[in-house]
Structures are given as C-alpha cells and as structure tokens.
Structure 1
Amino acid sequence: MSNREKILITGASSGLGEGMARAFAKQGRSLALCARRLDRLEVLAAQLRPQAGQVEVAALDVTDFDSVPVVFRALRDKLGGLDRVIVNAGLGKGAPIGTGKAHANLETVQTNLTGALAQAEAALEIFREQNSGHLVLISSVSANRGLPKAQAAYSASKAGVTALGQGLAAEFAGTPIAITVIEPGYIETDINRGVKTRLMATTDAGVAAMVAAIEAEKAHAAVPRWPWEPLAAAMRYLPEPVSRRMV
C-alpha cells in the first residue's frame, strides 16, 4: 500500500466530507474537493491551505453525469495525479413510498447510487490509466437491511453502493487498484439531525473512525467498529418484527 498523498473527496462542503477533508489536511495531504456549494468549498479551502499540501476545489453535481469525468480529470491535472477518490456525496431525503413524494425518493436514489456509479466510472478510468489508485465508496450500515417507511429508498440506494463496491473489490483483488466500502453508523451530521438514538457517535469520533478505516484500505468496514461492526452483521438476520421497529 503506497501513501495516498493526492485525495479527491466529493460532498466535501459539509458533514462527513468536510470532516474527512479537515483530517487529511492536518496530515499534509493534497486535496481536490467537490460539492454543489462552491462558496462553502472556497471558505473551507482557505482554512485548509495552511496545513494541506495543496487544495483545489470545483463545483460538482454528481447527478450531472457528463460533468463528473470532466471535473475529476481537471482536478487530477491540477494536483498532478490522484491517489485516492472518496465517493461521499449523498442525500438522506425520503418519504414512505406511494405517499405522493416520489421526487424525494428518486432524487435520493439518483444521487446516492447512480451518482456513485458515475463517480466510480470517472475515478477508475483514471486509475486504470495510471495502474494505481484507491477508490472509497461511502455507503451506510442501512445497506445491510431494507428499512421501512421514509428510509426505504435510502437503504436501497446504499445497498446498491455496497454491492457495487463488492463487485469492484472482487475484480481488482491482487492489483495495484484498491477498493474500500465504508458503512458508517449513526454519526452526528445534518443528515442525521433529528434522529434520537444512544448509538450516535460525535462527528469527530465518526470521522476519525472513517479516516482510520480508509487508511487501512480494507475491502469493507462498518464504522465506528463498536457497535456497528457486530450490529451491521446482525441486521442481515433480524426477524421482521424487529426490523420494522428500527426507524
């Protein structure tokens, strides 16, 4: 495993993406940061530049599929290469299916799954050309069990992300291209605002666990390891009456 000095992060203007950017900047890494909100990225970049090796930013909507490879390549050129791409951009919108709010569920699946696929396509084109790289897909522990009500489309989208990562990990096993799927549990971010659970990790603790798992470059990690590694495994086998009470 080589040191990944040049890292691209999508969805970097807030939440876990911003947290990972700050953590890698403290280590002196060079960063390419993408999000829809360019103004927030520029503020973040100004804060990170004194610590980071180099920071470049670009506006990106991952559902504008044609623009994803263009933006990735432009940032690659500015950094002089890419060692790691973290596919983090995502949405937590949703409503019970069939209640007249299909737009929220469709937008969630398009961003979280189809958008992740577009990013994987763009990243792996670059990695195949240079015969090296580390692709990180940020999924969710909800990928392990279809959740009811407003979480149904979200958990389905994340199950797709995990399956995509598993397929890629099998394809690239034993090659200079590494694939990692990270499944965070409940971590304090805007997306989890309003969720009441004793299992919520602080943003700092959650980001630290994510960065440690990414650096280890394992094929799969549920974070923070306790309690989410055993819980993620158990979720696949929970009786239906229990899973119905999960949200």
Structure 2
Amino acid sequence: MIRQNILITGASSGLGKGMAIEFAKMGRNLALCARRMDNLEALKQELLTINPDIKVFIRSLDVNDHDQVFEVVKAFAADLGSLDRVIVNAGMGKGASLGTGYFKANKQTAVTNFVSALAQCEAAMEIFRSQNAGHLVTISSVSAVRGARRAMTVYAATKAALTSMSEGIRIDVLNTPIKVTTIHPGFIRTEINEKVKTVPFIVDLETGCKAIVKDIEKEVASCFVPKWPWALFRYIARIAPLSLLAKMS
C-alpha cells in the first residue's frame, strides 16, 4: 500500500527534514510542521525542486501547545483530503542529572517528548479512526531500551514511555486497517549533536534517514536503525550490568 499523504512533525531540521526529502523523492505529498517557519519555507522550496509534482503544505506548530496540535492535524487532513501516515517526530534532548538544579530543563524534555507526543498520537488516531485507515509512526530512540545517566536520564525515560505507548496503540488497533510503527534510531548526525565529536557508530543524516524511511515503508511494528549495530545493541543493553551502562552513557 502506498501512503501518499504524509504528515511529519518537527520537520524544519534533522530527522524530520531528512525524511521529508526522502519521501519527496518517492513522489509523496507532504504536510510539514515545526516552530521555525523560515526553515519550513526553505524546505518546501527544496522539496518542490526535487519533485515539482508533489503537494507540500506547511504550518507553524509548537507541539507543546496541545490544542494547536489537534487544530493543525485537522487542517492538514483538510488540505490533503486525507492523511495516510503521521510521523510523530518532534522532540528534544535537554536535561541533566536529577537533583542538580535543572528541573525546568528535565521537565521540558519530559513534556515535549511524551505528553506532546501523546497529543500528536491522539490527533492522528482521531483522523485514522474516522477514516478506518492510516499509519502512525513514532520516532523513539535506542535509549528506550535501558535507563541512562546525566543528561540522558529523562530523555531515555521519555523514549521508553513513547515505545510503550506506541505498542499499546498497536495492540488496540490490532487486525484493523490502522498500522503502528515505532522507529528506534541510533546515532545519526543532526544539528543537535553536530558539536559532539566522539560518537560511536554515528552515520550521516542522509544514510540514517534512508534507513528510517525504508523501515517505515515496510510498516514494521518496531525496528532499530541503522540495523548495525543497533539491532544487536538492544539485546546486549537489556542484560548489561549497570556498571557497563554507566560507561556507555
């Protein structure tokens, strides 16, 4: 099945932008939203240059404005006539060790990565249930497998929660025309980590997004990308002692 009309949140940069480019090459219509409209305007022109035959709609969206999430998703559905796939991609990675005075940063990550992801899933599923069709995609992380320390503590917890919620939705719509996919990206070079020099197994944005889109198109239930080494890493991480996890994060 070809999912022609695709909505991507957090599309102004990083994985969202990279996925949009890959889908444009495939001839898909795109509904893109993020806070930075200037980036979205530039991306729209880039996508139409790649493929002038597609439709591209853009809207400003702060996913932490939950009422606006529902409004924007419904507006995109009206623009395109239907939504075939919604990719819940918007997220952030602020944070620090708990108890070190950075509650506001940790709270912001918790709200953005989980509560706001919940709002996006709710809005998407309302559309899909009314259509009795659709493909929900959530962008989690390899960090969802186990807990992590320092700046990653809350981030990993939110991604574990997102993975669990996605599986719950998948169970809820099992054996229906609505499908749910959870993507767990490994280390992919984006503007968030561009200043970090020593990152093991990191791949460039295009390589990472091609791998992500490939699995999205297969509509797998859950996957870790790129497959090497992350498909293996998830099994090792689940049984690794805390002393080893401390060295990895």
Q: TM-score range by the shorter chain?
A: over 0.9
1:151-205 per-residue CA deviation (whole Å, 9 max, x = no partner) reads: 1000001001000111111111211000000000000012223151231011111
- The change in CA–CA distance for 1:65 and 1:76 in structure 2 (over 3 A counts) is same
TM-score scaled by length of structure 2: 0.97
Residue 203 of structure 2 is matched in structure 1 by 201
Residue 213 of structure 1 is matched in structure 2 by 215
Structure 1: gaps (5+ residues):
none
Q: Letter of the 1:99 partner, please give it.
A: T
Where in structure 2 are the equivalents of 1:1-247 lying within 5 Å?
Answer: 2-50=1-49, 51=51, 53-193=54-194, 194=196, 196-247=198-249
Deviation at 1:246, TM superposition (A): 1.1
Q: Segments of 4+ in structure 1 off by > 4 A?
A: none
CA distance in 1, matches of 2:226, 2:68: 33
CA distance in 1, matches of 2:237, 2:145: 6
How many equivalent residue pairs?
246
Q: Letter of the 1:16 partner, please give it.
A: L
CA distance in 1, matches of 2:84, 2:235: 30
Q: Is the 8 A contact 1:186 1:192 kept in 2?
A: no
Identical counterparts, % of pairs = 50
Deviation at 1:117, TM superposition (A): 0.4
Moved more, 42-51 or 80-89: 42-51
Q: Letter of the 2:245 partner, please give it.
A: S
TM-score scaled by length of structure 1: 0.97
CA distance in 2, matches of 1:56, 1:79: 9
CA distance in 1, matches of 2:6, 2:108: 27
SS across alignment from 1:181: strand
- The change in CA–CA distance for 1:195 and 1:64 in structure 2 (over 3 A counts) is farther
1:26-65 per-residue CA deviation (whole Å, 9 max, x = no partner) reads: 1110000010111110111011124151000000011101
Moved more, 165-174 or 154-163: 165-174
Q: Letter of the 1:18 partner, please give it.
A: K
SS across alignment from 1:192: coil
SS across alignment from 1:33: strand
Q: Letter of the 1:239 partner, please give it.
A: P
Q: Is the 8 A contact 1:145 1:236 kept in 2?
A: yes
Deviation at 1:73, TM superposition (A): 0.5
Q: Letter of the 2:230 partner, please give it.
A: W
SS across alignment from 1:136: strand
SS across alignment from 2:6: strand
Deviation at 1:227, TM superposition (A): 0.8
Deviation at 1:74, TM superposition (A): 0.4
Deviation at 1:6, TM superposition (A): 0.2
Q: Letter of the 1:105 partner, please give it.
A: N
